[in-house]
Amino acid sequence: MLAALFASCKKDEHKIFFNGGTNPVLTSSVTSANLPLSFDTKDNIGLMLSWTNPDYKFTTGISSQDVSYQVEIDTTGSNFTSSKRQIISVSKNLSLTMTQSVLNDYLLNQLQLVPGVEHQLEIRVTSFLINSSEPLRSNVLKYTVTPYAIPPKVTPPTTGTLFIVGSATPGGSAHGWDNPITQPVAAQQFTQVSNTVYTITIPLIGGGEYKFIAVNGNWTQQWSIAKNDDPDMVTGGDLVFNGANILAPAASGNYKIEVDFQRGKFSVTKL
């Protein structure tokens, strides 16, 4: 009787196990080795990607959970580990379409490739279950591509010169905003790396402010940020013409500042 009672009270447990899935198969509208891009056809479709469903399976059958995807674009040899690679998230859909303009923008502003020069490109897609679990990666598509130059996002100085002024510079709160600059001018002048890129290494005073100007002694051409002392822009961000003051990092010290008018970005790196 005790045995019968124990058997009647025992609960059946049904565990669900993951049985895997199938790596997505990635295909493209461009079947040649060359991926054509041109400013004249920038609004045309540049690339249509599609991939197969990974069909994640459990012991109860094919998963009903939502599947998400990441399309990765990187240069050949980086093995999709570059911090500059472009990652595009796709929810549920099994395809992605990009115009030539969008693709070119990824290459110039994210991967930071040189325009007018051939580059080797790789593309793959990775599928995920909920919470980015159980990734499955596709085959890799390889292309040769030449990004085209586009007008700078922010118009660079017409003078070919750039200076930094503000209370964060060596002049401090007393003379940092002097324009013309009363401190040694050469110490506050950027080096022109290209038509659109300028760099400077300078000691900054923590918590001070600054801007960039084209002409020493003139406020006509100046660049900074949209929101005054934006704490999210301390280490760099979006550049605007005739904007508000930029907040320097909290710690005083030597910093390298790069201003890239092509991308419309600036960066601040402690040395």
pLDDT tens for residues 137-173?
A: 999 999 999 999 888 999 999 999 999 999 999 999 9
- Structurally, the chain folds into a number of domains equal to 2
Any idea which residue has 């801007």 for tokens?
211
Examine the domain organization and report whether 182 and 266 are in the same domain. Answer: yes
256 within domain boundaries? yes
Strand (E) or helix (H) holding 128: strand 119-129
- Per-residue confidence band for 62, with pLDDT thresholds at 50, 70 and 90: low
How many residues would you count in the chain? 271
Q: What local confidence, expressed as pLDDT, does residue 1 receive?
A: 36
Examine the domain organization and report whether 29 and 87 are in the same domain. Answer: yes
139 within domain boundaries? yes
Question: 65-99, pLDDT tens digit by residue?
Answer: 678 999 999 999 999 999 999 999 998 899 999 99
Q: Which residue has the higher pLDDT, 1 or 103?
A: 103
CATH number of the domain at 198, please: 2.60.40.3620
Q: What local confidence, expressed as pLDDT, does residue 59 receive?
A: 57
SS3 letters across 35-60: ECCCHHHCCCEEEEEEECCCCCEECC
Please classify residue 142 by burial: count the beta carbons closer than 10 Å to its beta carbon, then call 0-12 exposed, 13-18 middle and 19+ buried: exposed
d(CA 222, CA 242): 5
152 within domain boundaries? no
d(CA 180, CA 159): 16
Q: How many secondary structure helices (H) and strands (E) does the chain include?
A: 3, 22
Any idea which residue has 């240069």 for tokens?
75
Q: Which residue has the higher pLDDT, 91 or 177?
A: 177
Integer CA distances (angstroms), 3 to 7, 11, 41, in order: 6, 15, 81
CB crowding 7-46: b at 16 or more within 10 Å, else e: eeeeeeeeeeeeeebebbebeeebeeeebebeeeebeeeb
Q: What local confidence, expressed as pLDDT, does residue 133 receive?
A: 76
Q: Nearest-CA neighbor of 71 among 94, 54, 53?
A: 94
| Amino acid (1-letter code) at residue 254 | N
9 within domain boundaries? no
Q: Which of 80, 110, 145 is the last residue of a domain?
A: 145
d(CA 245, CA 181): 17
Domain that includes residue 49, residue range: 17-145
Integer CA distances (angstroms), 118 to 35, 114, 115, 121, in order: 10, 8, 8, 10
Examine the domain organization and report whether 25 and 65 are in the same domain. Answer: yes
91 within domain boundaries? yes
3 within domain boundaries? no
Does the predicted model carry a pTM greater than 0.85? no
Examine the domain organization and report whether 101 and 21 are in the same domain. Answer: yes
Average confidence (pLDDT) over 256-270: 96
